[in-house]
């Protein structure tokens, strides 16, 4: 649900400098001119459909949605085209006030491949009428099915629709697979949030509070909540300039009444529900306020409906993009549908390389085209050609510090064994059996300055910016770390790790939180971030394994429900289990594995307690000492 995607197209393609974006009709006319040959007069050609039509489509409840329909230039009536559908929260097209605006680079790319392309403003957004009663709400999601029906009824449609999008558009694309609409025959949700509560807004029950303020302001500007516009304040002016929104409006529909209809539609948006408001008040997963809840926008809560629909899915996520990789693996292990899943070294939207062992850089044109072509090939099979899903399920994943892609049809991958690394005296981390070392403990004090930096994994999902973790040696020196001896052999870790800490709460810990980081330490002392986990200690209760739904089988059974929350006791040791975000990394011989423990990440998470003062003791050794468990792949 990235605010950074407001300035980007919605199916994963770049918008500039790419040959695929050239219109074939224009290219043909240019070639004729160079050869000195006359073009056929327009009057002599057969009638064709409009290349771009902006119009309203009425939903079953009477709400009118603004859509842009792009057909390949020269499309004849009755052409029977496959269609790509995108539903957009951040305006389907941005134009200068009073001007029609240009074509969509994404639409041109799909048109060049022989597809119709329809992008719609979600109800309550852009030029569409209505009010958003909930972000990712049931009525907005249902509209994708109604749009699929409308597309199938058009004379240029082959009756099949592929739904796709990045971020928020990816969320709506995936949620549409639960509708049971037989016209939606494939989905390609990219950088999407499988479960917005756990995978983005409140991982481990902790609010990503510092990252939300700009996003909240963006939604106010887009929806004109309280009359907020780009010119309301210096803050809104700066945000609009940063996002390229200054002087722009949603594209009105065609016709002389378009501007008036746009004004009337936008007047209905002022009372939209706002995700950020719900994020702050909905501390627990079972929060509900009328149509607003964490479950309504969660694919995990709709797995039965998704499986019944049987829509084949291709998805793409980055290891360091919030919790989107965790979501892809939840999708793979919790859904039996045909899947082609990709987890790579990407930021949110896959515009940047995000590999902690390499400098951040924009993806090359060839890398973009490779990613794009996977989606095209997938839609060619299921939307253009109408192939039946074959039940094939694959995860393609990239390994950090090795640069190798692998493919598996099982997760955890074959050969995976859980290897425990036990915390010990002298800040050591070592394999060995429980109870092999004497018990002890180390102090941990909340440091409100030691975070993960401005360009971490939680920032990119809301901005689309690159992901960059500088050498963490300096930060680690202010935290509590445990490090192995140099490894004697290469060790490949792939999957979901887990940390069990023996924690004694001291002053300020009753409403506290813990953060853990998995890191690689090279022989020269450079520390590279790999992944992390966090937990609001009030949410530490572990449920029965049988109560864990299939989509959470890789995660510790935990409800995050209000009724299961309780303050953390002081003065008595407690076992606290924290899940790590999944990762694939090769620890090379001579390098060391480090686990770092913190009581705060001020760059991305709310401080618990709010005054930033809390102390703990982390126990090690003995029968109940702290342990890091990693999924090590043999062979």
**pLDDT digit string (tens) for 587-597?**
999 999 999 99
**pLDDT digit string (tens) for 89-148?**
999 999 998 888 888 899 999 999 999 999 999 999 999 999 999 999 999 999 999 999
In 138-229, alpha helices (H):
138-152, 168-175, 196, 209-223
Which pLDDT score, from 0 to 100, does residue 46 have?
Answer: 61
**pLDDT digit string (tens) for 153-201?**
999 999 999 999 999 999 999 999 999 999 999 999 999 999 999 999 9
* Residue whose tokens read 């999407």: 192
Which pLDDT score, from 0 to 100, does residue 623 have?
Answer: 87
Domains of the chain: 4-404 (3.40.50.1820), 416-633 (2.60.120.260)
Residues whose CB falls within 8 Å of the CB of residue 467, separated by 6 or more in sequence, listed in order: 318, 320, 321, 347, 352, 354, 360, 455, 456, 457, 459, 460
Which pLDDT score, from 0 to 100, does residue 287 have?
Answer: 97
* Residue whose tokens read 């390499």: 358
Contact yes or no for 184/163 (Cβ under 8 A)? yes
pLDDT grade, residue 585 (50/70/90)?
very high
Has residue 32 got a pLDDT over 70?
Answer: no
Has residue 506 got a pLDDT over 50?
Answer: yes
Which pLDDT score, from 0 to 100, does residue 25 have?
Answer: 29
Which pLDDT score, from 0 to 100, does residue 242 have?
Answer: 92
Contact yes or no for 13/166 (Cβ under 8 A)? no
Percent of the chain with pLDDT over 90: 87
**pLDDT digit string (tens) for 428-445?**
999 988 777 889 999 999
pLDDT grade, residue 635 (50/70/90)?
confident
Which pLDDT score, from 0 to 100, does residue 102 have?
Answer: 81
Mean pLDDT value of segment 342-367: 98
Tell me the β-bridge partners of 400.
Answer: 585
Has residue 6 got a pLDDT over 70?
Answer: no
Has residue 36 got a pLDDT over 70?
Answer: no
Which pLDDT score, from 0 to 100, does residue 227 have?
Answer: 93
b (16+ CB within 10 A) / e for 471-499: ebeebbeebbbbbbeeeeeebbbbbbbbb
For the chain, report the end-to-end CA distance as a whole number of angstroms.
38
Tell me the β-bridge partners of 423.
Answer: 429
Has residue 240 got a pLDDT over 80?
Answer: yes
CA-based nearest residue to 551, from 299, 278, 193: 299
Which pLDDT score, from 0 to 100, does residue 1 have?
Answer: 61
Tokens of 332: 């793979």
Tell me how many helices (H) and strands (E) the chain has.
Answer: 14, 29
Contact yes or no for 206/608 (Cβ under 8 A)? yes
Tokens of 78: 């009755």
**pLDDT digit string (tens) for 535-563?**
999 999 999 999 899 999 999 999 999 99
Question: Average model confidence (pLDDT) for the chain?
Answer: 92
């Amino acid at each position: 649900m990235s605010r950074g995607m407001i300035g980007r197209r919605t199916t994963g393609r770049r918008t500039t400098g790419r040959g695929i974006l050239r219109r074939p009709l224009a290219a043909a006319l240019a070639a004729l001119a160079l050869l000195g040959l006359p073009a056929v007069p327009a009057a002599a050609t057969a009638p064709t459909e409009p290349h771009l039509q902006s119009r309203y489509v009425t939903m079953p409840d009477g709400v009118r949605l603004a859509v842009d329909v792009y057909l390949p230039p020269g499309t004849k009536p009755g052409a029977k085209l496959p269609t790509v559908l995108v539903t957009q929260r951040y305006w389907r097209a941005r134009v200068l006030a009073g001007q029609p605006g240009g074509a969509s680079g994404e639409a041109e790319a799909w048109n060049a491949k022989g597809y119709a392309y329809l992008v719609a403003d979600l109800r309550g957004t852009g030029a569409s009428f209505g009010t958003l009663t909930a972000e990712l709400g049931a009525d907005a999601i249902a509209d994708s099915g109604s749009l699929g029906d409308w597309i199938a009824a058009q004379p240029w449609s082959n009756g099949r629709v592929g739904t796709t999008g990045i971020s928020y558009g990816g969320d709506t694309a995936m949620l549409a697979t639960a509708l049971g609409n037989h016209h939606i025959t494939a989905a390609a949700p990219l950088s999407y949030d499988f479960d917005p509560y756990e995978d983005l807004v409140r991982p481990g029950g902790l609010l990503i509070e510092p990252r939300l303020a700009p996003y909240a302001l963006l939604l106010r500007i887009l929806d004109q909540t309280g009359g907020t516009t780009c010119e309301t304040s210096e803050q809104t002016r700066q945000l609009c300039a940063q996002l390229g929104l200054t002087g722009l409006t949603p594209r009105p529909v065609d016709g002389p009444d378009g501007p008036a209809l746009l004004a009337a539609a936008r007047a209905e948006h002022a009372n939209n529900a706002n995700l950020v408001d719900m994020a702050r008040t909905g501390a627990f997963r079972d929060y509900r306020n009328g149509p607003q809840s964490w479950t309504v926008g969660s694919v995990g809560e709709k797995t039965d409906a998704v499986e019944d629909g049987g829509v084949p899915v291709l998805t793409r996520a980055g290891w360091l993009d919030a919790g989107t990789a965790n979501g892809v693996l939840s999708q793979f292990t919790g859904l039996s549908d045909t899947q082609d899943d990709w987890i790579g070294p990407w930021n949110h939207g896959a515009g940047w390389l995000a590999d902690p062992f390499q400098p951040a850089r924009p993806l090359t044109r060839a890398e973009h085209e490779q990613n794009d072509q996977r989606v095209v090939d997938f839609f060619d099979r299921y939307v253009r050609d109408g192939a039946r899903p074959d039940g094939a399920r694959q995860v393609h994943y990239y390994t950090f510090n090795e640069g190798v892609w692998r493919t598996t049809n099982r997760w955890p991958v074959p050969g995976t064994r859980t290897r425990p690394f036990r915390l010990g005296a002298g800040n050591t981390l070592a394999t060995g059996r429980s109870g092999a070392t004497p018990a002890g403990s180390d102090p941990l004090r909340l440091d409100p300055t030691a975070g993960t930096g401005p360009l971490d994994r939680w920032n990119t999902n809301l901005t689309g910016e690159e992901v960059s973790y500088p050498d963490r040696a300096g930060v680690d020196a202010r935290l509590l770390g445990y490090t192995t001896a140099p490894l004697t052999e290469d060790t490949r870790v792939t999957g979901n790790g887990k940390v069990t800490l023996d924690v004694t709460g001291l002053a300020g810990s009753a409403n506290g939180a813990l953060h853990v980081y998995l890191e690689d330490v090279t022989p020269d002392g450079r520390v590279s971030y790999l992944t992390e986990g966090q937990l609001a200690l009030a949410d530490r209760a572990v449920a029965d394994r049988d109560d864990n739904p299939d989509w959470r089988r890789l995660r510790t059974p935990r409800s995050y429900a209000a009724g299961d929350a309780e303050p953390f006791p002081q003065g008595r040791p407690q076992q606290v289990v924290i899940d790590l975000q999944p990762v694939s990394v090769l620890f090379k011989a001579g390098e060391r594995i480090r686990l770092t423990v913190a009581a705060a990440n001020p760059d991305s998470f709310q401080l618990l307690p709010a005054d930033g003062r809390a102390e703990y003791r982390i126990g090690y050794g003995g029968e109940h000492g702290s342990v890091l468990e990693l999924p090590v792949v043999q062979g």
